[in-house]
Amino acid sequence: NRLAQLELNFEVGLECAQSIAFALSESQCQSLTYLNLDGCNLGEEGFVGIATALRAYPQLRELHLENDNIGLMGCIALGDSMR
């Protein structure tokens, strides 16, 4: 799998956010270095799953989350995934 960049610029909602998290956790795309989810309105619950999946992506260099309403729990999950 050679995916280096993924950019989604539309509102996805909870169910789609959970699907993104599942795809990220299953694909183990080691070439992914850029993920832009600006404006997807992932929500706190949706982003927690994505943040957890991102633990498998230490090579990720850019993550964009503007206007995603990830909330406190999303921030905590992101922090945990960066350890």
Q: DSSP class of residue 11?
A: -
Q: Check residue 4 and give its pLDDT.
A: 94
Digit-coded pLDDT (tens) for 47-59: 999 999 999 999 9
Q: Check residue 34 and give its pLDDT.
A: 97
Q: What is the pTM of this model?
A: 0.89
Per-residue pLDDT of the chain (83 residues; tens, 9 = 90+): 688 999 998 998 899 999 999 999 988 788 999 999 999 999 999 999 999 999 999 999 999 999 999 999 999 999 999 88
Cβ pair 23, 51 in contact under 8 A: no
